[in-house]
């Protein structure tokens, strides 16, 4: 693992092609580039993690009143295991607290144990299951983080 400095910034249209490439490299059923671009709307909270002006990871969330839904968080394969997902998440939590958010929600594939373990480490609790939510009959685990 190399030591590299990363900057976290708001996602912009200039980042979308790199975000889409990370999504394609990381997900069996990636979001489309058009969907990613649609999340640049002010309703959404978006971040990118940049290293050498290249996107190493991203986060997309949706805030409604006093709740935030973490819709997508992903790190480029070459940049994993460097704490980028945790840094992006912490920026989101700081934003949430500044905006009087009380709950953060997310859904995670039941077969994605690495993500599930990370979310538990970050304080999320599983609250329900959506049966056959994803392709090939994979369940979604709904998780919640209560903010103080």
Q: List pLDDT tens digits, range 14-43.
A: 999 999 999 999 988 889 999 999 999 998
Query: What is the model's pLDDT at position 53?
Result: 87
Q: Would you say residue 65 lies in a domain?
A: no
> Is the same domain home to 38 and 92?
yes
> Is the same domain home to 145 and 90?
no
The DSSP 8-state label assigned to residue 94 in this structure reads: H
Residue 27 near residue 74 (C-beta atoms within 8 A): yes
> Is the same domain home to 79 and 47?
yes
User: Is 107 a residue of the active site?
Assistant: yes
Query: Does residue 10 carry a pLDDT above 50?
Result: yes
> Is the same domain home to 82 and 127?
no
Q: Would you say residue 51 lies in a domain?
A: yes
User: Is 14 a residue of the active site?
Assistant: no
Tokens linked to 24? 């394609």
> Is the same domain home to 133 and 121?
yes
The DSSP 8-state label assigned to residue 13 in this structure reads: G
> Is the same domain home to 92 and 22?
yes
Q: pLDDT tens, 39-57?
A: 999 989 999 999 988 999 9
Active-site residue, from 44, 119, 124, 133: 119
Q: pLDDT tens, 62-104?
A: 998 899 999 999 999 998 988 899 999 999 999 999 999 999 9
> Is the same domain home to 24 and 82?
yes
Query: What is the model's pLDDT at position 136?
Result: 85
> Is the same domain home to 26 and 47?
yes
Tokens linked to 15? 């980042």
Q: Would you say residue 138 lies in a domain?
A: yes
> Is the same domain home to 43 and 91?
yes
The pTM (predicted TM-score) of the whole model is 0.90
Active-site residue, from 23, 107, 114, 134: 107
Query: What is the model's pLDDT at position 36?
Result: 95
Query: What is the model's pLDDT at position 4?
Result: 62
Q: What is the spatial distance between Cα 53 and Cα 70, in angstroms, rounded to a whole number?
A: 24
Query: What is the model's pLDDT at position 2?
Result: 45
Identify the helix (H) or strand (E) that includes residue 47.
strand 44-51
The total number of structural domains in the chain stands at: 2
Q: Are strands 125-130 and 103-109 parallel, antiparallel or unpaired?
A: unpaired
Cβ within 8 Å of residue 4, ≥6 positions away: 51, 52, 82
Q: Are strands 54-64 and 44-51 parallel, antiparallel or unpaired?
A: antiparallel
Residue 116's domain comprises 102-148
């Amino acid at each position: 693992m190399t030591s590299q400095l990363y900057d976290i910034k708001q996602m912009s249209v200039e980042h979308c092609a790199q975000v889409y490439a990370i999504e394609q490299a990381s997900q069996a059923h990636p979001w489309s580039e058009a969907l990613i671009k649609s999340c640049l709307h002010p309703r959404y909270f978006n971040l990118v993690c940049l290293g050498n002006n290249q996107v190493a990871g991203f986060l997309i969330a949706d805030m409604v009143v006093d709740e935030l839904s973490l819709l997508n968080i992903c790190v480029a394969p070459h940049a994993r295991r460097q704490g980028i997902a945790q840094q992006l998440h912490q920026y989101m939590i700081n934003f949430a607290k500044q905006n009087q958010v009380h709950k953060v929600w997310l859904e995670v594939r039941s077969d994605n144990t690495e993500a599930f373990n990370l979310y538990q480490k970050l304080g999320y609790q599983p609250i329900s299951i959506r049966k056959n939510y994803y392709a090939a009959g994979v369940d979604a685990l709904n998780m919640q983080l209560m903010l103080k």
